[in-house]
Amino acid sequence: MSEPEVLVEVSDGIGRIRLNRPRAINAINTSMMRTITTALTEFATDDDIESVELTGAGERGLCAGADVRELRTAALQGGDVAEFFIVEYALNQMIAAFPKPYRAIMTGITMGGGMGLSVHGSQRVVDASSVLAMPETVIGFFPDVFVSHLLARLPGGVGTHLALTGASFNAADALRLGLADQLDGPAPQADPLLSASWMAECYAADTAEEMVARLADHADPDARATAAELERRSPLALEITVEVLRRSLGFASIADQYEQELTLAVRMVTGPDFAEGVRAQLVDRDRNPHWAHASLAEVSRAEVLSYFEPLA
């Protein structure tokens, strides 16, 4: 018998949740999130439990994100992809509003859906091994699990940079940016790129197309390298991500952002780029994807706005 994909126990007044898919860097699926939701529901009302701690099995990381291969298969087979996101986003909101200390140990790789399980908690612990990111645009998706709500509020354009490029950042930067609260052990050096002055100027543009143009024309070689990197991302995902960040500023809480998050997730997973992006990155292994649009110039404003229309 194989072990459960989520291990739940109580010891010393702590409700312990351990993601247990180490070979997949604890990528989460619907059943795992249901198990976590049930555990948190019970922990919240158990007077013997003072706090909750989330960890990941294995040495590679807390959680690499959602099981996007499973999502891709469901989308291609016409399955109900909405169920996954309904369960996931309800769990993210539960964590954000949890009535007891919720401690996430963000060791190693913590990305995508793994950020959703951790960054909304009240105690976010990082260490020298932590590698955090929202890399969704590389697979034709957008930075979801309400992390856009946090990135949109970071100063100097760094949140837009992290959302568009999917660039990873370490413990020192997570603490500096307010995306972690506590350091366990020695701190790595902060990445000077994430304090670059050109970000504020280039990412102040209204569209991804204009942002990339500003980056490409900038004197700083790091800005030009970023433009080249963004040109390899899904043009549609980039423009939608910019719109998400702008709209996120108008939501007072992640709960207010729920309908937008769910609408976009369903539309994009069943849209033209997600299946291709996942296949190129994870099935064919680092093949250059063939996006639905050859360039940002081909993505119309009307098409971007259509993704935000309420689901039928």
Q: What are 246-286's pLDDT values in tens digits?
A: 999 999 999 999 999 999 999 999 998 999 999 998 888 87
Q: Are strands 14-19 and 6-11 parallel, antiparallel or unpaired?
A: antiparallel
CB-based contact 95:102 (threshold 8 Å): yes
Six-digit token string for 34? 């249901």
Is the predicted pLDDT of residue 84 greater than 70, yes or no?
Answer: yes
225 located within any domain: yes
Q: For the domain that residue 80 is a member of, what is the CATH number?
A: 3.90.226.10
Domain count within the chain: 1
Six-digit token string for 257? 């952002």
Alpha carbon distance 141, 126 (integer Å): 26
Q: How open is the CA angle 145-72-269, to the nearest 5 degrees?
A: 50
Is the predicted pLDDT of residue 297 greater than 80, yes or no?
Answer: yes
Question: For 85-92, what is the mean pLDDT?
Answer: 98
311 located within any domain: no
Q: How many CB atoms lie within 10 A of CB 201?
A: 16
Give me the domain span that covers residue 179.
Answer: 6-306
CB-based contact 278:137 (threshold 8 Å): no
Q: Among residues 22, 41, 29, 27, which one has the least CA distance to residue 8?
A: 41
- Position 64 confidence tier, pLDDT thresholds 50, 70, 90: very high
Q: What are 30-61's pLDDT values in tens digits?
A: 999 999 999 999 999 999 999 999 999 999 99
312 located within any domain: no
70 located within any domain: yes
For residues 7 and 69, the model is more confident at 7
Alpha carbon distance 143, 137 (integer Å): 7
Q: Give the pLDDT of residue 248.
A: 98
Q: Give the pLDDT of residue 79.
A: 84
**How much is the mean pLDDT over the chain?**
96
Q: What are 162-182's pLDDT values in tens digits?
A: 999 999 999 999 999 999 999
* C-alpha Rg value of the chain to the nearest Å: 19
236 located within any domain: yes
16 located within any domain: yes
Q: What are 102-130's pLDDT values in tens digits?
A: 999 999 999 999 999 999 999 999 999 99
Q: Give the pLDDT of residue 1.
A: 61
1 located within any domain: no
100 located within any domain: yes
Q: Among residues 294, 289, 157, 166, which one has the least CA distance to residue 235?
A: 294
